[in-house]
Amino acid sequence: MTFDCKDLERALAIPELLPEAREHAKVCDACRRELWLWSEMSTLAPGLREQWETPELWPRIRETLAAQQKADKRQARVSRRNWYMLAGVAAVMLIAVSVLLVTYSRQGAAPASQDSDLLTEQALREVEKSEAAYRASIDKLARLAETRLKSSENPGAVTAREKLLVLDSEISNVRATVSHNRFNAQLQAELALLYRDKQDTLKEILQSAQ
Amino acid sequence: MAAGRLTARSDADLIQASKRGDLSAFEEIYAAHAGRMKSIAFHLLADRADAEDAVQEAFLKIYRAAGGIQSDTVLAPWIYRILLNCCYDTGRKRRRQAESPLEADPPAIPANVPLQVAIRHALGRIHPQYRMVFWLFEVEGFRHSEVAAILEIPEGTSKKWLFEAKRELKRLLTESRA
């Protein structure tokens, strides 16, 4: 290929063609000047770099960054403190709710237990009044059955007599216990059962005698 | 010449340390890049005070952004991209503040001046994209791969724009010296 002045532009774009361009430049002043200019631009360009001392620039940046770090740390501390406060409030609320729940559950359970085991003064008076009336009617029934029991010698009457003795003994024991613990509903109920048992036994004696 | 090549600690180490608030690590980044950053900022803003402000703003942004940077990120292109954005912001601000919104035409290339001075003048007359590639490659000594990463263009485009920049400069210089 014969290198021509028109090929110079292409040679500058394609480095492989540069040796041919240089050969041509040896005999062509215009191309020599252009080639020289082309390479001088690269040679002189680093000299265009602007350099100057700025000893205050880094301290200025560091100061701003340090202030920013302090502000960030303060913000983090405030956030952490807020979080701790929130956690504290939550813990206090949890404890308060737990205490309330326990208190309410105890308050809810206590009256039921007291109602079942212990009697109030008014209820006791009613129970005692009923018991007295019940006992009087049973005594009346016992007096009626007594003549029948004494005159009869059949095995059923003997068994009934022995059962009544046991029941009377039991009634007397429970009544003695009740006298020390008048508000105990369980003892009152037990006493009532014994009276009922005695009443049923007396009824059976009277019915068998008819 | 590789941009931002550091000997003491790697870019990744410095960024990790900076993330932890280690200002001495950040100072190493500053020491490695500040000179070149000032030069680029001055080239774009043509004012030393503005250039220093842009570099300061860039470093503050770099420090703030360091927390989100991936450990495998190549530091130099990222730093210079931030700098260019800061310079463009400053330039825009300055244009808004200027009494005349229209930029004056670049001055003609004076005759009978040293070639280096003529090149500086001629650079003001070529396309800004070509000028930027010429500046980064020929003046600041970045490789095409680095120029491409900084300007976020393909490497081939960087080479093409450099060629166009030099062709334009050659034309302007030849005309001015004819």
Any B CB within 8 A of A13 CB: yes
Burial class, B97, CB count within 10 angstroms (exposed 0-12 / middle 13-18 / buried 19+): exposed
Please report the pLDDT score of residue A109 as a whole number.
Answer: 57
Q: Does residue B102 surpass a pLDDT of 50?
A: no
Query: pLDDT band at B7, cuts 50/70/90?
Result: very low
Task: Give me the architecture of the B105-178 domain, per CATH.
Answer: Orthogonal Bundle (1.10)
Chain-chain contact of A47 with B55 (C-beta, under 8 angstroms): no
Architecture per CATH, domain B1-103, reads as: Orthogonal Bundle (1.10)
Q: What is the identity of the amino acid at A154?
A: N
CA distance B159 to B167: 12
Spell out which residues of chain A touch residue B135, defining contact as CB-CB under 8 Å.
48
> Which pLDDT band, with edges at 50, 70 and 90, does B8 fall under?
low
How far, in Å, CA of A64 to CA of B55, rounded?
13
Task: Summarize pLDDT for B23-53 with one digit per residue, the tens.
Answer: 898 999 999 999 999 999 999 999 999 999 9
pLDDT at B6: 41
**B1 — pLDDT class (breaks 50, 70, 90):** very low
Tokens standing for residue A61:
């940046």
A86–chain B nearest CA distance, Å: 28
- Mutation site, B83, B115, B123, interface A, largest A CB count within 10 A: B115
Among B63, B45, B67, B66, smallest CA distance to B54 is for B45
**What is the distance between the alpha carbons of residues B42 and B90, in angstroms, rounded to a whole number?**
11
Q: Which residues pair with A184 in a beta bridge?
A: A118
What percent of chain B clears pLDDT 90, i.e. is strictly above it? 60
Q: Tell me: pLDDT of B11 over 80.
A: no
Provide the residue ranges of all domains of chain B, joining segments of one domain with +: 1-103, 105-178
Task: Taking residues B68-84, report their average pLDDT.
Answer: 85
Mean pLDDT, range B2-13, rounded to an integer: 59
At B94, the pLDDT band (50, 70, 90 cuts) reads confident
Backbone dihedral region for residue B103 (phi beyond 0: left; psi -120 to 50: alpha; all else: beta): beta
For residue B162, give the chain A residue with the closest CA. Answer: A13
Residue A119 backbone phi and psi in degrees, to 5 = -110, 150
- The mean pLDDT value of chain B amounts to 86
- Predicted confidence (pLDDT) per residue in B148-162, tens digit: 999 999 999 999 999
**Is the pLDDT reported for residue B91 higher than 70?**
yes
pLDDT of residue A156: 73
Question: In tens digits, what is the pLDDT along chain A, a chain of 210 residues?
Answer: 688 888 888 898 888 888 999 999 999 999 999 999 999 999 999 999 999 999 999 999 999 998 888 888 888 888 888 888 888 888 888 888 888 887 777 666 555 444 555 567 777 777 778 778 888 888 888 887 777 777 666 777 777 778 888 888 888 888 888 888 777 778 878 888 888 888 888 888 777 766
- C-alpha separations of B45 from A80, A171, A186, B3, B87 in Å: 44, 116, 102, 21, 7
Is the CB of A64 less than 8 angstroms away from the CB of B60? yes
Whether ipTM tops 0.90, in short, is no
Label residue B104 by pLDDT band (50, 70, 90): low
Q: Is the pLDDT of residue B129 over 50?
A: yes
For residue A128, what pLDDT is reported?
A: 78
pLDDT, position B84: 96
Check: CB of residue B122 under 8 Å from CB of residue B138.
Answer: no
CA torsion through residues A120, A124, A126, A127, sign: positive
Q: Could you say which DSSP state residue B107 is in?
A: P
Q: Using an 8 Å CB-CB cutoff, list chain B residues near A55.
A: none
